[in-house]
Amino acid sequence: MSQSYDRGLVEDFGRWAEFSAGMWAWVFHKFTGWVLIGYLFTHIAVLSTAIEGPALYTNTLQGLEALAIVRFMEVGLLAVAVFHILNGIRLLFVDLGVGLDAQDKSFYASLVLTGAITVASVPTFLAGL
Amino acid sequence: MSTHVPESESESETGAPEQTEEQIPAAQQRRLAKKQERSDQREQRAESESETDEQTVHLKVFRYDPEVESKSRPRFDDFHIPFKKGMTVLDALIYSRDHYDSSLTFRHSCRQAICGSDALFINGAQRLGCQTQVSDLDDPVRIEPLPHQEVVKDLVVDMEHFYEQMDAVDPYFRDEDVPSGLEEQNQTRENREKIKMSTRCIWCGACTSSCNIAAGGNYLGPAAINKAYRFAMDDRESDALQQERFETIEQENGVWRCQTQFSCTNVCPKDIPLTEHIQELKREAVKSNLKFW
Ligand code: SF4
Ligand code: FES
């Protein structure tokens, strides 16, 4: 027994193709959660430029908004936030024992809705580029 | 008079289970429908296959044996065996062992999904070898030991940790709860319905192996929590013992570690709605701690 072989985690990540809906929902939820935490720091950093006075704050904001990459990232941020919210609602129902049978369908619905909202937001975010 | 059930009583008796029937067996029905669908497909396929008689199945079997030099590095062996209608993965393994390699090692006993000893990782999912039809699977059939457990030899994994977790919830009634003498222990029909699914567990470990939260850590895991559910929700358990059981599952390694991935529910060969049971225990735990009512 002492010589038994531990296959470790590497294969588990290699098995992504076999993940089910619930597993993907979990992976995405964790991922979007971390992205949102990361964004929080950026957000606070930008806001804190207001300490140095309104001019710097306005400059920072305008400077950032002028960059195409920032606007694209805003679209991404919206997608991340929307998915996290929708899946959060889905999890709330799961916690309450409502619609457990449809947990995979509600995950797909969250994905579709996230996609739709993100696409709809593109004109707003990228306007004036 | 004694044979006649007063209408109001029979109504109240069926009133409660109706609600549970809506919740629990809905999942069951869905699974049964899926099973039926699969068996229909199988029949169709068998019909079309019977025309070509010499069919072979290609198995890719995980091999590892620390005591044999050539097998101390894990590898996959290929077996091509003749297909027979109704052949299960376990049958295929037994055929391979008997005809090609007598050192091929795996566990099995009942061959009818009762003993739980042959849970394997077959084509990317935890399944019972004896319950899985070869004709349901894509070729080649890839057979590996259960993930997240240490491999002892070939398809045999070390189940010690799993059994320890099961024991941790005291999966039995205690002496104090068993009436002395010939006194009956009554359980209501509704209560029986409620815990029905949870009593079906065969300790195969498929669910715990599919759960990446249970991997490595000390999380009790779906099977042990389902066992706790089976007793905690049983009328016949005394309040004091039920309280103790709740304390066990409310601990850091208990129900709160479940992240509702549904992996366990997806693989359980006995169709036990595990995630549902875990979530219900979470709610009970919150209720018992809040005590607003
Ligand atoms: S709950 Fe299901 S998958 Fe888990 S050990 Fe019991 S029978 Fe096996
Ligand atoms: S051999 Fe007993 S469950 Fe498969």
Interface predicted TM-score (ipTM) of this complex, two decimals = 0.82
pTM of the predicted model as reported, rounded to 2 decimal places: 0.81
Q: How confident is the model at residue B72 (pLDDT cuts 50, 70, 90)?
A: confident
Residues B25 and B193: their CA atoms lie apart, in Å, by 10
Least confident of A4-8, B121-125, B158-162, B261-265: A4-8
B47: pLDDT strictly greater than 70:
no
pLDDT value of position B182: 73
Searching chain A, which residue's CA lies closest to the CA of residue B280?
A97
Ligand 1, atom 8: closest residue by C-alpha: B204
Question: B124 to chain A: which residues are within 8 Å by CB?
Answer: 15, 17-18
Looking at per-residue pLDDT, the higher value among B119 and B36 belongs to B119
pLDDT value for A8: 55
Residue B95 has pLDDT above 90, yes or no: yes
Confidence label for B231 from pLDDT (cuts 50, 70 and 90): very high
- B260 reaches A (C-beta below 8 A): yes
Among candidate residues B93, B90, B89, B215, the one with its CA nearest the CA of residue B147:
B215
Atom number in ligand 2 closest to CA B204 = 3
Q: Taking an 8 Å Cβ-Cβ cutoff, which residues of chain A contact chain B?
A: 1, 3-7, 9, 11-12, 15, 17-18, 20-23, 25-26, 91, 94-97, 100-101, 103-104
pLDDT at A81 over 90: yes
User: What residues in B contact A107, CB-CB < 8 Å?
Assistant: none
Is pLDDT at B139 greater than 70 in this prediction?
yes
- In this predicted structure, which of B1-15, B80-94, B113-127 has the lowest mean pLDDT? B1-15
Task: Report how far residue B184's alpha carbon sits from residue B193's, in angstroms, rounded to the nearest whole number.
Answer: 19
Is residue B195 pLDDT above 50, yes or no? yes
CB of B132 within 6 A of ligand 2: the answer is: no
Inform me whether the pLDDT recorded for B49 exceeds 70. no
Mean pLDDT of the A25-42 span: 96
- Res. A91: pLDDT tops 50: yes
Residue A29 and residue A84 in contact, taking contact as beta carbons nearer than 8 Å: yes
Taking alpha carbons only, the member of B279, B148, B272, B275 closest to residue B210 is B148
The predicted model gives A63-67 an average pLDDT of 91
Task: Calculate the average pLDDT of chain B.
Answer: 86
Ligand 1 atom showing the smallest separation from residue B205 Cα: 5
CA of B225 vs chain A CAs: smallest distance (Å):
16
